[in-house]
A and B are shown apart, each in its own frame.
Chain A
Amino acid sequence: MALWGGFLPRSKLARREALAFYGFISPWIFGFLAFTLYPILASFYYSLTQYDIVNPPKWVGAGNYRELFTDRLFWQSIKVTVYFTALSVPLGIAASLGLAVLLNQKVPALSVFRTVYYLPSVITGVAVALLFQWILNPDFGLVNYLLFKLFHIKGPGWFYDRYWAIPSFVLMNLWGLGGPMVIYLAALQSVPTELYEAAELDGANAIHRFRHVTLPMISPVILFTFITGIIGSFQAFTQIYVVTTGRGGPNYATLVYVLYLYQQAFRNFRMGFASAQAWILFLIIFGLTLLALRASRSRVHYEAPTEAL
């Protein structure tokens, strides 16, 4: 009613305010139309065409999608991405949550630790990829040297080994666990201490308290990091591009989804085909997010009653 019964409000003051509102958000509206809405529509159209940028798009209908489902490398890229996500997201959450719980004890010099652990999250991107390529070098890298020196184990080929390449990237990702750690730390500190005191009076030990007080209280934050972790991991690109010089090697063992998409779009100039890939990526991310929200509904505890999500 309010929306359709005349778009602007009746009273002069309210109408002025509404106009001011549209004035203030006009940059976003323009940006949305030009850089989001139009590209979404165009991308969907391209995904139904053959398009190399130079020549006009040629309509192929569902051809790109059909081709994708029979494309061996496309399935390989999905397999690699799922494997990477399944390994890195749970490990990352467990490690950063553990670290946050640890630093939530009355540890001295808390801010120093916070700084040290958070530091790697600032140094993201290419520099980290180069650093780990060096540290995990099979022949003269630090890790294999220490493995041999301390345990007399001959270390694997890391990025150069098709079975170890993805775990190597997971290891590299773990180095940046300070980002989610800070979020968990904030969440932990907002749990009311009365709850712990009450639980303690009821005879709950530390493990009980963690399971029955801490976990439920911070479950929305865990869900948040879980979802953003999955989304981020499905969009992994930079470091894998740098380490494998854009190939996704060895033997396509690290050909993640976005890397394959990039190759198709900007190496082979198959913009239509790559657009179809982008749309499937969107559906995957959307589906996984919904699934995670669904599955968590009974397990995530919200302090305030919410309708959202």
Chain B
Amino acid sequence: MAEQVIVGPQRAVRAYHIPWYKTKSFRQQVTRALATLIAIVGAIIILIPVAWMISTSLKTRFTAIQLPPEWIPKNPQWHNYRDALTFMPFNLFFRNTFMYATVVAFAEMLSCSLVAFGFARLRAPGRNVLFLLVLGTMMLPYQVTMIPQYVMFTKWLGWRDSWKPLMVPPFFGSAYLIFLLRQFYLSIHQDLVDAARIDGCSHLGVWWRIFVPLSGPALAAVGILSFVYHWNDFLGPLIYLNSTEKLPVSVGLSRFTAAYGGTPWHWLMAASLAAVAPLILLFFAAQRYFIQGIVITGVKG
């Protein structure tokens, strides 16, 4: 049976008899149109909460809870933003969060890059065992080390109600980001390293002059992931910080409701939008690196 099939001509003849709605190209077009339609509906569903957030942030306290909702407020209350952001010391919260996320992102870029370079490009006895340890620490839930760290930082070092417990550990690298950068560093060509070494470059020189410049996109991905992660961080600041003026945006937002009594939804949405605005801006500016970082390592959280 099978030997009788003559692929070329037979196909051509058959295609001639296929009605137009059964042709492959027509089916592909239908699939594509359906996929696009579903994707658009999905995108709208995803965006509705954001639109609702923006809409609410521009309403008055009364119109915010009115039904049916007014999607485009007749009198947009732009001053909601000013009111919400001055009701609590949000300018301080922003400054705290920005300083924290920026310092930590740079610290992690530096330390993880050094460590990743070691693991990727230098040979030493025990290297593989140590790298397995790095990967192993990713399995360990934060909650296991959280309590002794808390005791260590607050009781022994006296860093109570301070940012130090949150800012110091990143200077020693994070397993997840070390892993991400190492994967990148493994792909840089050895000839470059050899040439630099022959020219008398030290290991540190190779790292600084070759690996750091060549891994720009990967370093950017690390910096961005770190920045976003720490901008959104909640549990850490919740544990270590008490005084209101020291809080980050995340904890500040969560205190909003309680501080006011009834929930001022219009202010809450204005403040929440302001809180995520930097992330959204960063996201649009650095989309490429976001996707890159995610694709290489999977996703955090």
Contacts and interface: CB of A to CB of B under 8 A. Distances in A.
Interface of A: 2-3, 7-9, 14, 17-25, 27-32, 34-36, 38-40, 42-43, 46, 53, 99, 102-103, 105-108, 113-127, 129-132, 134-135, 139-140, 142, 145, 149, 175, 178-180, 182-183, 186, 224-225, 228, 231-232, 234-235, 237-238, 241-242, 245, 258, 261-262, 265-266, 271, 274-275, 277-279, 281-282, 285-286, 289
A99 B65 CA distance: 33
Contacts, number: 268
B186 interface: no
Given A7-B125, A175-B46, A53 B144 contact: no
Contacts of A24: 114-115, 117-118, 122, 203, 207
B233 to A, nearest CB: 8
Contacts of A183: 294-295, 298-299
B52 interface: yes
A168 B204 CA distance: 52
Q: Is the interface of A mostly helix, strand, loop or mixed?
A: helix
Interface of B: 28, 31-32, 35-36, 38-39, 42-43, 46-50, 52-53, 56, 65-69, 111, 114-115, 117-119, 122-127, 129-130, 133-134, 137, 139-152, 154-155, 169, 171-173, 178, 203-204, 207, 228, 232-235, 238-239, 250-251, 253-254, 257-258, 265, 268-269, 272-273, 275-276, 279-280, 282-284, 287, 290-291, 294-295, 298-299, 301
A117 B39 CA distance: 9
Nearest to A176: B301
Contacts of A27: 111, 114-115, 171-173
Nearest to B202: A20
A35 B149 contact: yes
29 contacts: A3-B129, A7-B125, A9-B124, A17-B124, A18-B123, A20-B203, A38-B148, A39-B144, A39-B146, A46-B147, A117-B46, A119-B50, A119-B280, A122-B228, A123-B279, A126-B234, A127-B276, A149-B68, A182-B299, A232-B301, A235-B142, A238-B234, A261-B143, A278-B141, A278-B144, A281-B141, A281-B143, A282-B140, A285-B141
